[in-house]
Structure 1
Amino acid sequence: MRPAARTGDNPVVRENSAVGSDQWSVGHDGTKGVNDALAQVQGYASATSVSHGESISFHIASHTSQTCTVAIYRVGHYGSVGARHLLTSEPVQVKPRRKPESRAATGLIACDWPVSWTVEIPKTWVSGLFLAVFTSKDGHRSYTPFVVRELERRSDVLMVVPFTTYQAYNMWPLDGRTGKNLYKGYTADGKMGGNPERAFKVSFDRPYMQSGFPRWFDMETSTARWAEGAGYDVTYASSIDLHEGRIDPSLYTAIVFSGHDEYWSKEMRDWGQDAVEAGTHLAFLASNNIYFHIRLEAGADGLPGRVVTCYKEAPDPEPGEGGPTVRWRNLGKKHRKAEQGLMGVQYNGILKEPAPLVVRESKHWLWSGTGLRDGDEIPDLIAVEADGYNPSMPRPADSEQTLLSASPYIDSWGRGRTVQNTSLCEDTRGTLIFVAGTFHWPLALSHPEHLNPHVQRATSNLINRMLEPRSKH
């Protein structure tokens, strides 16, 4: 039986009692933003995550030879301020760097910029979601995120940050000529193309486009700030950590996938299955998770996990042990590896415009204390992409499934009415797998433009239930 939860008395709570700072944002001290075409100041990190005693390096370029500082902030609640300043580097020299051309066969764009600044992670830095803030002497500012992990600490909750999906959507450089991601690239006349122009491989050895915030990064910041404000005992990892086998899932009572976690390797999928078999609860707070099968490969310098490979509809020249890099639901016979087999629901469409979540099973404990009844609507909660239950696909074995919403929406593909489902599966040992099934769920936890008390209460009910001691396990 697992021990009682440490909510309210743990390193995260003590960390969040420190004084917060909002000085990281563009506009403070007269700072200005950046764009890929001018590349006023941009950089990338040598790793997506790092442990105490290890070092992380930043490779930075500027539009002119000058100095730059690197400030490190930890994202959290901090009395609603949202982050804490930890240190700022001495000025470091930066200068213009070449934007590499994409490789003809794969579309890969990888920088070989030298290291500008390195920091060793002190033991006093509590595991979390961190920002490196690059500020040039001429007043421009950009960012890159990373995670500090604590493999030696057994926390109640592990939050996984979806760096593989961040990189899949990274269009750097978004300059009208060079940039590519796993969806699109530029045509010869400088227009944004589609599949014919896209890359099959994308590299972490490049900045994230424009400001340096990955697409949908606010899902992670919203979830982290809410969870830490609620006092949960949480540590953090990146999706690369799952792939590399650094994380033992049995050490955690619950694992939360806070955002859009679309791109999974075989190793990541095996890790997720191992977590369930270990009796660890899983909570997917967004939608369209585990959709594309990927390989993670070494970069040009031999460092592992620096290249995300996904051929999708194109022939995969090196399928490997995990099979070709296609949609998970297209691997194996009779869709036996479809993502619904692990999660209980799966991606079923892109929304033309936001739609309300329509409540089902309102007497279920998830909705307890919300005051909601069957058929009640939470406005605009179903947005961007949605999940639903598909009876023709596999579902988690030996489990009872409850669909907690049935929300009709108009699909942007013109297929008409589609239905979103929020799902909860519980196996015979009491292990829970929750899927919110929409992009706006994590934003509703603390993002000021999406805040919703019903979602906050339901998510608290979920995490608190997951953290209850179990005799079944």
Structure 2
Amino acid sequence: MTAPGAARSWGDAAALPGTAARGEAPLPAGAAVDGYPARPNVRAGEVLRFHVSTRADRFRADFYRCGARPRLMGSTAGPGRYAPPGRHDADWHWPGHDFAVPGDWPSGVYVAVFSAGTARPAVPPPAGAADLDARHSRMLFVVTAREPARHTRILYKVPVFTYHAYNRSGGASMYGALPHDEAYRTVTLRRPGGGIGGPVKGLPDAHDPRTPRQTFAHWDAPFISWLEASGHTVDYCTDLDLDESPQHAYGYRLLLSAGHDEYWSARTRRHITAFRDQGGNIAIFGANTCWWRVTPTADGTAIRCAKYPPGVPQGSESDRMRGAPDHWWEGEPENSLIGVSYRNGGGHWEGPREPLGFTLQHTGHPVFAGTGLSDGDVLGEEHALVGYECDGAAHRRDALGRAVATGTDGTPADFTILGAADLPTAPGSGWNTAVREDTDPGRAATFGLYTRGGTVFNAATTDWARLLALDPLVDTITRNVISLLRRGGAGPHRGARTP
């Protein structure tokens, strides 16, 4: 979710193939190569169908897997053909090419770097995913596993639906005014962009300006790099995989999501809920999670979302209204699954925000093992851990001043709040909030967990992954959560709730 209005988005200048994004050198005439996958997911050993437009005679694609650091896995080349850009809401139908994905490629997030007829990779060896990021000449896809290996217990969910909700290739994203005769906005997955390689809606991040928000390099790549550098073996999938297959997560002990996983389909949510109910654990190191409902087309090539109540002027701030058909919270509150909701927190979208961290409680919980933290300590304040968007649970304060979830908003009654951060309310603080049922108590980010079949942990802030390299305590807590949930469950903490 980002603020509406006239402020320019990252990559506005790159709305068409062959143009460079702001801050990047102009592309030489005829050198532009852009592309997109026919589907964002492919299994190792199968054929990746992708589509390319270029005025060059030939193009090259170098495939990098993004793990602890990007690794060049292979390359392909093909004849160039030019096709004009399309609209945001329809398949662009660019010339197609096939690449047989080697059977030994591990599951992961892959980035194709396109170049015009070169004999060597177009980029120097990248130190991280930020070195691969660009608003043109890139393509993201996910290699999924045929089935979980015996030693692989973690499945990472890549939020392709959210990437495309913010993708402005073709002139529009899920944001902004709709034509008067449209009840919902449709965006196609068959266009450049979708995590990388296209212009994105959103303002620069004052706390991490290296890459735009709403991109793979900004939200997911730092967490994935940390995850694999920590020695975890992980399989990857897209939300389209989880939408199409009720069993895709089965065989794994832990499902992970990080950063900004905002747009969920009904089937994705239903299948993840079933995974939890049957004992699967979930860890969300992000926020604004499962806020909008999207509906994929039958062939999985586009998504649509109804964001405005009937009769409301298009382009208004729909989060501050009731009656938006695809707000999850109005019909089936998302916190019944993920424990928290954006409507109880808020977002700080533009410029630096006031440093804010979580005031901790129940620090005897195993999540805090090895940290030396005590109740009342503040986590992450020095590096502005809370934001750019954050989620919370409706809560009250007990006799000791501890935050206790009330469950009135759909949060499970046994949700243990491990830390709370009251959001600033002063005029000019820069925080934006959504409509909700009850304004008492004030807005707060609350991170914590509950058990219902499996255990669900929620860090309740988009910026959790940013602090993994900055704050050893955030690092340790993350290690503890993953260690607990990949082998079993954290379970309830004795004394965590007050009757």
TM-score, scaled to structure 2: 0.71
Aligned to 2:39: 47
Task: Output the CA distance in 1 between the equivalents of 2:390 and 2:180.
Answer: 22
State the Cα distance separating 1:358 from its structure 2 match.
Answer: 2.2
Equivalent of 1:350, from 347, 355, 359? 347
1:83–1:163: structure 2 CA closer, same or farther, 3 Å change rule? same
SS at match of 2:283: strand
1:404 is aligned to 2:419:
yes
Letter aligned with residue 366 of structure 2: W
What percentage of aligned pairs have identical amino acids? 26
1:97–1:263: structure 2 CA closer, same or farther, 3 Å change rule? same
Aligned to 2:471: 452
| Cα deviations by residue, 1:268-316 (Å, 9 ceiling, x for unpaired) | 1111110111101101110011111111004xxxxx2111110111559
Aligned to 1:363: 364
1:100–1:144: structure 2 CA closer, same or farther, 3 Å change rule? same
Aligned to 1:320: none
Asked if structure 1 preserves the Cα contact closer than 8 Å seen for 2:306 and 2:326, the reply is yes
Aligned to 1:100: 86
1:57 is aligned to 2:49:
yes
State the Cα distance separating 1:326 from its structure 2 match.
Answer: 1.1
State the Cα distance separating 1:329 from its structure 2 match.
Answer: 0.9
1:160–1:411: structure 2 CA closer, same or farther, 3 Å change rule? same
Aligned to 2:389: 385
SS at match of 2:139: strand
Letter aligned with residue 103 of structure 2: K
Aligned to 2:12: none
Aligned to 2:73: 86
SS at match of 1:89: strand
| Cα deviations by residue, 1:221-276 (Å, 9 ceiling, x for unpaired) | 11211111111121111000000016443311110012311111110111111011
State the Cα distance separating 1:39 from its structure 2 match.
Answer: 9.0
Asked if structure 2 preserves the Cα contact closer than 8 Å seen for 1:216 and 1:259, the reply is no
State the Cα distance separating 1:351 from its structure 2 match.
Answer: 1.6
Asked if structure 1 preserves the Cα contact closer than 8 Å seen for 2:186 and 2:305, the reply is yes
State the Cα distance separating 1:405 from its structure 2 match.
Answer: 3.0
Aligned to 1:176: none
Asked if structure 1 preserves the Cα contact closer than 8 Å seen for 2:168 and 2:198, the reply is no
- Unaligned stretches of 5+ in structure 1? 1-31, 103-107, 174-178, 186-192, 299-303, 317-322, 332-336
1:70 is aligned to 2:61:
yes
Equivalent of 2:484, from 454, 462, 465? 465
1:225 is aligned to 2:225:
yes
SS at match of 2:360: coil
Task: Output the CA distance in 1 between the equivalents of 2:179 and 2:226.
Answer: 37
SS at match of 1:371: coil
Aligned to 1:421: 446
State the Cα distance separating 1:356 from its structure 2 match.
Answer: 2.1
SS at match of 2:357: strand
SS at match of 2:385: strand
Asked if structure 1 preserves the Cα contact closer than 8 Å seen for 2:484 and 2:490, the reply is no
State the Cα distance separating 1:471 from its structure 2 match.
Answer: 12
Asked if structure 2 preserves the Cα contact closer than 8 Å seen for 1:147 and 1:236, the reply is yes
State the Cα distance separating 1:163 from its structure 2 match.
Answer: 0.4
Aligned to 2:20: none
| Cα deviations by residue, 1:131-160 (Å, 9 ceiling, x for unpaired) | 111112487962111111113224211000
Q: 5 Å matches for 1:306-345? A: 306-315=301-310, 325-331=325-331, 337-345=332-340
1:156 is aligned to 2:171:
no
Q: Higher mean Cα deviation, 53-62 or 38-47?
A: 38-47
Paired residue total: 393
Letter aligned with residue 205 of structure 1: R
Aligned to 1:238: 238
Equivalent of 1:125, from 78, 88, 105? 105
SS at match of 2:259: coil
Equivalent of 2:411, from 395, 401, 405? 395
Task: Output the CA distance in 2 between the equivalents of 1:461 and 1:194.
Answer: 49
1:402–1:377: structure 2 CA closer, same or farther, 3 Å change rule? closer
| Cα deviations by residue, 1:4-51 (Å, 9 ceiling, x for unpaired) | xxxxxxxxxxxxxxxxxxxxxxxxxxxx7678x999221101111111
| Cα deviations by residue, 1:367-409 (Å, 9 ceiling, x for unpaired) | 2222333232412111211101124311236x34233233434
Task: Output the CA distance in 1 between the equivalents of 2:347 and 2:113.
Answer: 33
| Cα deviations by residue, 1:44-78 (Å, 9 ceiling, x for unpaired) | 0111111122211221112x33321001111111x
State the Cα distance separating 1:423 from its structure 2 match.
Answer: 1.9
1:196–1:393: structure 2 CA closer, same or farther, 3 Å change rule? farther
1:327–1:157: structure 2 CA closer, same or farther, 3 Å change rule? same
Letter aligned with residue 364 of structure 1: H
- Unaligned stretches of 5+ in structure 2? 1-23, 124-135, 201-213, 312-322, 395-405, 492-499
State the Cα distance separating 1:194 from its structure 2 match.
Answer: 11
Task: Output the CA distance in 1 between the equivalents of 2:163 and 2:479.
Answer: 27
| Cα root mean square deviation, aligned | 3.2
Equivalent of 2:190, from 195, 205, 221? 205
State the Cα distance separating 1:411 from its structure 2 match.
Answer: 5.1
